[in-house]
């Protein structure tokens, strides 16, 4: 599993839910919500700007929160996967036994 784009695709609402599971103080959760909210982006092509669109996923690149948020989000991955999951640093290996042809096709 490649985490290269993980920081870009992390859904804000799911991250906040994970923080609540860890019983993070409400004040800290509100601070992180504030950090993640009210962000927008636009694209400029040949001088033409698109409309601003809200950013609802990802962590600001270069932020000290980036690695911490990914670790918090991925902590429950082994419980969610119906397979053996091995996590080490930024690497994840998922193993599954194939018992039938339908296992291979799915």
How distant, in Å, are the alpha carbons of 3, 42, 48, 60, 95 from that of 54? 23, 9, 19, 13, 37
pLDDT at site 53? 93
pLDDT at site 64? 81
- Report which of residues 9 and 33 the model is more confident about: 33
pLDDT at 1 over 60: no
pLDDT at site 61? 74
* Half-sphere exposure of residue 76: CA atoms within 13 angstroms, side-chain side: 11
Which H or E run includes 45? Answer: strand 44-45
Residue with tokens 């695709």: 9
Lowest mean pLDDT among 8-17, 30-39, 45-54: 8-17
pLDDT at 17 over 80: yes
- Closest by CA position to 75, among listed 32, 15, 2: 15
């Amino acid at each position: 599993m490649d985490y290269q784009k993980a920081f870009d695709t992390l859904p804000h609402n799911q991250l906040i839910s994970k923080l609540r599971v860890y019983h993070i103080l409400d004040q800290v959760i509100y601070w992180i919500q504030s950090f993640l909210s009210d962000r927008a982006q636009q694209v400029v092509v040949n001088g033409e700007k698109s409309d601003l669109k809200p950013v609802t996923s990802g962590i600001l690149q270069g932020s000290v929160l980036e690695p911490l948020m990914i670790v918090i989000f991925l902590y429950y991955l082994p419980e969610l996967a119906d397979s053996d999951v091995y996590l080490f640093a930024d690497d994840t290996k998922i193993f599954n036994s194939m018992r039938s042809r339908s296992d291979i096709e799915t």
